[in-house]
Amino acid sequence: MIKIRDLIHDYIKRDEEGNPAGTVRAIDDVSLDVKPGQFIAILGHNGSGKSTLAKHLNALLHPTEGTVWIKGMDTKDQSLLLDIRQTAGMIFQNPDNQIIGQVVEEDVGFGPENMGVPTEEIWERVEESLKAVEMYEYRKKSPNRLSGGQKQRVSIAGVIAMHPGCIIMDEPTAMLDPSGRKDVIDAAWTLNRGEDITIILITHYMEEAIRADHVFVMDKGRIAMQGTPREIFSKVTELQRLHLDVPQVTQLAYILRENGLDIPEGILTKEELAEALKKIGKAG
Ligand code: ADP
Ligand code: MG
């Protein structure tokens, strides 16, 4: 679905007058592969290059050096731009900046309409997309009246309606309350497992990465760590060095282990911690 080789991205820095004053290397030699159907999480502190990477996956930016292919399409090829944007949809942080329609169903229909999908099929797609994110009953509502989490799900429906192979979500839950956050992440999972849509989830919330198939951790424009969630979250000190937390349960398990309790590394869920504690209880 995605293949990146030796990607470098330099931004041009500008002084107060707007004159070029050097460059900032935001992506520094990144190579990675994402297979169709994977759920990928990208972690990293502020300024580590996550959003810059995301924009390359949607051809919003072009490589300073190196190559990005989306389903075999080189993002440098201008003639493929629409195909690439249709294949790799993007969801941003702020739901208010993404919704343009006056009515939910109209908003979701914009993408397919711009693609030239026939009217009847647009309505089918709008219905199927809103159902997929559990927003169908809101189809006649004004987006202004929705909560942040609901708006974000409408944005996702707008992307799904274009039948993408892949959705890139750049901190989609950063502005949401816990319940909105859960609904958006649940929707992402449903699309991944149910519709086989590849998901790239960029997030600050470690908990959201726990179920991912593969995790990339970025630092200073590079991939500093990668592996399964269990591999990544068992490296508590390494993550702390990169200014990242681990999920709360993992942190607690780590402290108990440091204090001599016989608990395995890389505990990710409450259930796993409970199991480990039960074993100790029985042994004692
Ligand atoms: P993240 O999403 O992980 O917070 P970004 O990709 O936004 O990181 O930023 C990576 C680096 O690139 C940072 O040092 C940031 O200041 C710089 N940067 C981002 N956007 C621009 C821009 N438009 N012009 C100049 N520098 C930028
Ligand atoms: Mg960002």
- For ligand 1, whether the C-beta of 11 sits within 6 Å is yes
Q: Is residue 246 part of a domain?
A: no
Cα of 184 to ligand 2 centre, how many Å? Answer: 18
Q: Is residue 215 part of a domain?
A: yes
Residues in the chain predicted with pLDDT less than 50, given as ranges, are none
pLDDT at 91: 94
Residue of minimum CA distance from atom 12 in ligand 1: 26
Q: Is residue 262 part of a domain?
A: no
Cα of 53 to ligand 2 centre, how many Å? Answer: 9
Cα of 51 to ligand 2 centre, how many Å? Answer: 4
Number of domains in the chain: 1
Q: What is the 3-state secondary structure (H, E, C) of 195-251?
A: HCCEEEEECCCHHHHCCCCEEEEEECCEEEEEECHHHHHCCHHHHHHCCCCCCHHHH
- For ligand 1, whether the C-beta of 47 sits within 6 Å is yes
Q: Is residue 80 part of a domain?
A: yes
- For ligand 1, whether the C-beta of 51 sits within 6 Å is yes
pLDDT at 97: 85
pLDDT at 126: 96
Q: Is residue 251 part of a domain?
A: no
Spatial CA neighbour of 168 closest among 45, 72, 67, 59: 59
What is the pTM assigned to this prediction?
Answer: 0.93
Residue of minimum CA distance from atom 1 in ligand 1: 47
Q: Which bound ligand lies closest to the C-alpha atom of 25?
A: 1
Residues 6+ apart with CB under 8 A from 260: none
Q: Which domain holds residue 187?
A: 2-228
Q: Which bound ligand lies closest to the C-alpha atom of 52?
A: 1
Spatial CA neighbour of 28 closest among 192, 223, 271, 199: 223
Q: Is residue 39 part of a domain?
A: yes
Nearest-atom number in ligand 1 for the CA of 46 is 4
pLDDT at 95: 86
pLDDT at 20: 87
Cα of 52 to ligand 2 centre, how many Å? Answer: 7
CATH of the domain at 55: 3.40.50.300
pLDDT at 26: 98
Q: Is residue 120 part of a domain?
A: yes
Q: Is residue 191 part of a domain?
A: yes
DSSP assignment string, the chain: -EEEEEEEEEEEEE-TTS-EEEEEEEEEEEEEEE-TT-EEEEE--TTSSHHHHHHHTTTSS--SEEEEEETTEETT-GGGHHHHHHHEEEE-S-GGGT---SSHHHHHHHHHHHTT--HHHHHHHHHHHHHHTT-GGGTTS-GGGS-HHHHHHHHHHHHHTT--SEEEEESTTTTS-HHHHHHHHHHHHHHHHHH--EEEEE-S-GGGGTT-SEEEEEETTEEEEEE-HHHHHT-HHHHHHTT----HHHHHHHHHHHTT----S---SHHHHHHHHHHHHHH-
Per residue in 123-174, pLDDT tens? Answer: 999 999 999 999 999 999 999 999 999 999 999 999 999 999 999 999 999 9
Q: Which residue has the tokens 């942080």?
A: 93
Q: Which bound ligand lies closest to the C-alpha atom of 93?
A: 2
- For ligand 1, whether the C-beta of 50 sits within 6 Å is yes
